[in-house]
Structure 1
Amino acid sequence: MPLEKAAPQVLFLPLGTPEAGVSLQGWLYESLRGAILGGRLPAGSKLPSTRAMAEHYGLARGTVQAAYQQLLSEGYLQARTGSGTRVSEVLPDPTLNAGYVRRKVVAKSVEQRVAPRTPWLSKLAEIEPIFSRRAAPGGLLPFFPHRGDIKAFPIDLWRKLHTQQLRSSRLSLLLDADPAGLPALREAIAGYLAIARGVQVSAQHIVVLGSVQQGLDICLRLLAPGDSQVWMEDPGYPGARQLMEISGVNRVEVPVDRCGLRVEEGLRLAPGARLAYVTPSRQAPLGGELSPARRLALLRWAAEQGSYIFEDDYDSEYRFIAKPIPALRSMAGAEQSVILAGTFSKLLFPSIRLAYLVLPEHLIEPFTRAAALMSRHANSLAQAVLADFIDEGHFDRHVRRMRKLYTSRAEAFAEAAHRHWQGLIEVPEIRAGMDIACRLLVGNEQDAFARLRAAGVDALPLASYRVAPRDPGLVMGFAPYEERAIDEAARAVARALRN
């Protein structure tokens, strides 16, 4: 049975100063009556006790009791044993009550007032962030993509590190922090990048933010002013495309194939673009790697044009067939044009909301100033815990453990697809990541999406990632789901699509 909504609790209202010649009892009565009729004391609001009211306003308790009694007798208040004195739900005079209702309707209409149609609001009204959908009560529905298994995270260890940071000797963490990020975390990230991503960089080149989205937002504001042209992968990460849409830049959709961004098409469509957004280590969502030849061509274009490359390195650590390939930022000549973005939301858990940018030397100061202006700084307590988590080797062990776990689940997903989806869905080789773009062999994406949702299975239509028409497909995740759940969900997919 749903719980009843609690009545609003009102303590004291500013009632103004008594007018000359008006008794204190009459002043209090008129003030409370006016507050009720004016809606400042809503229906069901609880008034203070007569003793508390008298002490607060410096009145005799008898004066307050007399004013309360008059309002009670006229029906403006009601008193119940154990519930105190409250504003009546219905006012005594039908005429007054009609006015009371009219005021509530007016207040409601104000709440429903439509926001002005500014360019930003107009564009936001047309955008639905696809990754903000709520999980089912029992967790994510299979096969929702872009999520890891939070149940496998070492939460007890994280709690221990968190508690250590809350010692009385470390309370300075509760104050404002460096907008570029805690030095300890930036040092830890620099050390990690040198080993895992082949990027040799000092901690001074790293800025810690709340998300990669925030980093891209700063890039668009600082490096692509006005209607500057910006390359966007097609298909590509919807969050980046939507951010470009509301930022006002001239987004140029550059096609992607199995070797990643087709740089020659970008040069043909918009050679003078100010920025290129790419996912070279594992293209989102198709999963391919940007070929060496195209990496060189991309860097050459950026150097010749004085443009920048935003490298979204979102989950390259989860590579199953070999060691992770080096980041684009690790290549010779990349240090002046490539902005490397990484996130811990994919590698640890989404709500940690910590990410980083590796910046060229000349962008460190403006980006730090922008971060300070837009968000002051990322959560410093979480930064300190993460720094210890990395320095003590827990991060590396966690990533290796999750890579092994996701490898087995990728294999289970591929086996279930082969067993149940013949003639329905074609699943390519899963080489890395937490999800895979699959080819839909029957029907259309929207119909398949609706059928799967009705069957308790989730996925994202490939159309959510692209602008140019392509073969129908679904982006499906496997990382958070155990082998048995994968097989059961695969059976449900088969039933839904065959029906």
Structure 2
Amino acid sequence: MPPRKSPPQVVLLPLGQPEPGVSLQRWLYEALRSAILGGRLPAGSKLPSTRALAEHYKLARGTAQAAYQQLLSEGYLDAQTGSGTRVCAVLPDATLNAGYVRRKVVAQVDTPRTPPATPWIERLDAITPIFARRPMVLGLRPFFPHRGDTQAFPVDLWRKLHIQQLRASRLSILLDSDPGGLPVLREAIAGYLAIARGVQVPAERILVLNSVQQGLDLCLRLLVPGESQVWMEDPGYPGARQLIDVSGVQRVDVPVDAFGIQVEEGVRLAPNARLAYITPSRQAPLGGELSPARRLALLQWAAQHGSYIFEDDYDSEYRFVAKPIPALRSMPAAEQSVILAGTFSKLLFPSIRLAYLVLPAHLLESFTRAAALMSRHANSLSQAVLADFIDEGHFDRHVRRMRKLYAARAEAFSEAAQRHWQGLIEVPEIRAGMDIACNLLEVSEQDAFARLQAAGIDVLPLASYCVKARAAGLVMGFAPYDERAVEDAAKAVAVALR
């Protein structure tokens, strides 16, 4: 009988050099874990003592001991008196480890696979998602649209409210919560809507979500059967258009003019549409308001056909020439057919990821159950902090302060355009919002976009919002940029386009 082989003895395995900014303990832990998962330290392998390892790599012995201890606690190593420290025969999370090995060790020889040809994947392949993955941007170049000034947000106050929520007596906030949203936040939103948007609604009819996109997705799943039709503004918000496209329903593009969506044209094109996506308070991206006559016509169409209206109320609070106009949902005839969607990402900061729907009573149960199934609930801690932020008056003060700040920057933007863009770009009156759709007068849209990108100026072509061709234009933002930045960027735009 052949002698039994003893486990291989590992003397001092080459582990590479630590990356800049990574602690020595973290480097040693990750290097040893990678060696274990990659097979360079097979099961049963004996590791050198912490003293020998520390001396060889010129580390403090405490660093080696801490790395070993972490690997022991996670189940990668086993230490027994008399036999030293060895690699465990069975590693934790075998499935995860196998995936780790594939990525780190044999990814270069892995055979590529083609995604399955499911309808969703096929429809996704046909578009370039507006929310495509991209590296984190620390600063936005003028005149990137759809962004507020996060530097002006009261971070210290927000931190203080967070600390208050994390007191020992309040730690239940870290548990699962109501899938419809924290009652205290729904009450706060209901109070805000009554004052700021003219919408009188019980708190129980408000559903707290992560985003308006999630709310629209719920509507498409629950209210639009099969290949039914959905009205979409043209031009309109690309994120909504793409979500409608991948959902498998039939999108009907309804033209928009200075008075909002042309309801008569929508009725002519698709009278039996199940849903209409609209931005009535400030049309995205043209900026107009839906006229009173069209509001009534839209509500009448929905009532007659049993259809629903998705009202995206994305930044209506930032209105400079007068008080914000009431939401469409505030009209008495809207209660049964209008689903009002609002977000705090525009009003506070994008990463808060909190939004809400105001639902007709007969939809509340099904929408809440679907939201619970898809995402359990929105972040409870952020909900609680936001509720305090609203109830203590900070939200109202912040919005009023930002409205004044953005109005000043809109004026600076318009004045800089008058000084530098004569004959190049026409800037309409800026009545609200954080950006404006401008008209190109001489240079083509494609040429202007390429020139501005080369000059370090970020804009979006108006064509990216359109299905049917329109006059050349650019959507340009002003909210995050102070007067000096606006002036310097305006000069750069003029140089690039001339």
* TM-score bracket for this pair, using the shorter chain length: 0.7 to 0.9
Percent identity of paired positions between Structure 1 and Structure 2 = 73
Amino acid at match of 2:379: N
TM-superposition CA deviations, 1:104-152 (whole Å, max 9, x none):
9964353743322322112222322335575885500110000000011
- For residues 255 and 400 of structure 1, the distance between their equivalents in structure 2, rounded to whole angstroms, comes to 33
Partner SS state of residue 347, structure 1: coil
In structure 2, what is the equivalent of residue 379 of structure 1? 379
CA separation of 1:300 and 1:21: change in aligned 2, threshold 3 A: farther
In structure 1, what is the equivalent of residue 78 of structure 2? 56
- For residues 124 and 426 of structure 2, the distance between their equivalents in structure 1, rounded to whole angstroms, comes to 35
TM-superposition CA deviations, 1:201-240 (whole Å, max 9, x none):
0000000000000000000000012111000000000000
Partner SS state of residue 179, structure 2: coil
- For residues 252 and 293 of structure 1, the distance between their equivalents in structure 2, rounded to whole angstroms, comes to 22
CA separation of 1:421 and 1:60: change in aligned 2, threshold 3 A: same
- For residues 227 and 105 of structure 1, the distance between their equivalents in structure 2, rounded to whole angstroms, comes to 45
Query: Is 1:41 the counterpart of 2:22 in the alignment?
Result: no
Total equivalences in the alignment? 435
Amino acid at match of 1:365: E
Which shifted more, 102-111 or 183-192?
A: 102-111
In structure 2, what is the equivalent of residue 123 of structure 1? 123
- Tell me, yes or no, if the aligned pair for 2:276 and 2:310 is still in contact at 8 Å: yes
Query: Is 1:108 the counterpart of 2:108 in the alignment?
Result: yes
- For residues 261 and 366 of structure 1, the distance between their equivalents in structure 2, rounded to whole angstroms, comes to 29
In structure 1, what is the equivalent of residue 311 of structure 2? 311
CA separation of 1:133 and 1:260: change in aligned 2, threshold 3 A: farther
CA separation of 1:310 and 1:40: change in aligned 2, threshold 3 A: same
In structure 2, what is the equivalent of residue 339 of structure 1? 339
Amino acid at match of 1:56: D
1:156-235 matched pairs, under 5 angstroms = 156-235=156-235
Which shifted more, 311-320 or 125-134?
A: 125-134
TM-superposition CA deviations, 1:266-305 (whole Å, max 9, x none):
0000000000000000000000000000000000000000
Query: Is 1:464 the counterpart of 2:464 in the alignment?
Result: yes
TM-superposition CA deviations, 1:331-382 (whole Å, max 9, x none):
0110000000000000000000000000000000000001100100000000
- Tell me, yes or no, if the aligned pair for 1:420 and 1:494 is still in contact at 8 Å: yes
Which shifted more, 130-139 or 469-478?
A: 130-139
Q: CA deviation at 1:398?
A: 0.3
Amino acid at match of 1:435: D
- Tell me, yes or no, if the aligned pair for 2:161 and 2:389 is still in contact at 8 Å: yes
- Tell me, yes or no, if the aligned pair for 1:173 and 1:381 is still in contact at 8 Å: yes
In structure 1, what is the equivalent of residue 419 of structure 2? 419
In structure 2, what is the equivalent of residue 258 of structure 1? 258
- For residues 343 and 277 of structure 2, the distance between their equivalents in structure 1, rounded to whole angstroms, comes to 16
Which shifted more, 447-456 or 250-259?
A: 447-456
Partner SS state of residue 130, structure 1: coil
In structure 1, what is the equivalent of residue 496 of structure 2? 496
CA separation of 1:166 and 1:22: change in aligned 2, threshold 3 A: farther
- For residues 369 and 262 of structure 1, the distance between their equivalents in structure 2, rounded to whole angstroms, comes to 34
Q: CA deviation at 1:21?
A: 6.6
- For residues 246 and 29 of structure 1, the distance between their equivalents in structure 2, rounded to whole angstroms, comes to 56
- For residues 201 and 104 of structure 1, the distance between their equivalents in structure 2, rounded to whole angstroms, comes to 54
- For residues 173 and 153 of structure 1, the distance between their equivalents in structure 2, rounded to whole angstroms, comes to 24
Amino acid at match of 2:402: M
CA separation of 1:111 and 1:462: change in aligned 2, threshold 3 A: farther
- Tell me, yes or no, if the aligned pair for 1:235 and 1:466 is still in contact at 8 Å: yes
Amino acid at match of 1:257: D
In structure 1, what is the equivalent of residue 273 of structure 2? 273
- For residues 226 and 202 of structure 1, the distance between their equivalents in structure 2, rounded to whole angstroms, comes to 32
In structure 1, what is the equivalent of residue 392 of structure 2? 392
- For residues 44 and 134 of structure 1, the distance between their equivalents in structure 2, rounded to whole angstroms, comes to 36
- Tell me, yes or no, if the aligned pair for 2:47 and 2:86 is still in contact at 8 Å: no
Amino acid at match of 1:363: L
Q: CA deviation at 1:40?
A: 5.3
CA separation of 1:133 and 1:415: change in aligned 2, threshold 3 A: farther
TM-superposition CA deviations, 1:404-423 (whole Å, max 9, x none):
00000000000011111111
- For residues 339 and 479 of structure 2, the distance between their equivalents in structure 1, rounded to whole angstroms, comes to 28
Partner SS state of residue 439, structure 2: strand
- Tell me, yes or no, if the aligned pair for 1:135 and 1:141 is still in contact at 8 Å: no
Q: CA deviation at 1:440?
A: 1.1
- For residues 143 and 157 of structure 2, the distance between their equivalents in structure 1, rounded to whole angstroms, comes to 29
- Tell me, yes or no, if the aligned pair for 1:197 and 1:327 is still in contact at 8 Å: yes
Residue ranges of structure 2 left out of the alignment (5+ in a row): 11-34, 50-67, 88-101
Q: CA deviation at 1:481?
A: 0.2
- Tell me, yes or no, if the aligned pair for 1:39 and 1:103 is still in contact at 8 Å: no
Q: CA deviation at 1:43?
A: 6.1
- Tell me, yes or no, if the aligned pair for 2:46 and 2:86 is still in contact at 8 Å: no
- For residues 426 and 136 of structure 1, the distance between their equivalents in structure 2, rounded to whole angstroms, comes to 32
- For residues 306 and 103 of structure 2, the distance between their equivalents in structure 1, rounded to whole angstroms, comes to 60
Amino acid at match of 2:356: Y
In structure 1, what is the equivalent of residue 287 of structure 2? 287
In structure 2, what is the equivalent of residue 450 of structure 1? 450
- Tell me, yes or no, if the aligned pair for 2:77 and 2:85 is still in contact at 8 Å: no
- For residues 274 and 196 of structure 1, the distance between their equivalents in structure 2, rounded to whole angstroms, comes to 29
Q: Find the structure with the greater CA-based Rg.
A: 1
Partner SS state of residue 120, structure 1: helix
Residue ranges of structure 1 left out of the alignment (5+ in a row): 1-19, 31-37, 66-101
CA separation of 1:104 and 1:489: change in aligned 2, threshold 3 A: closer
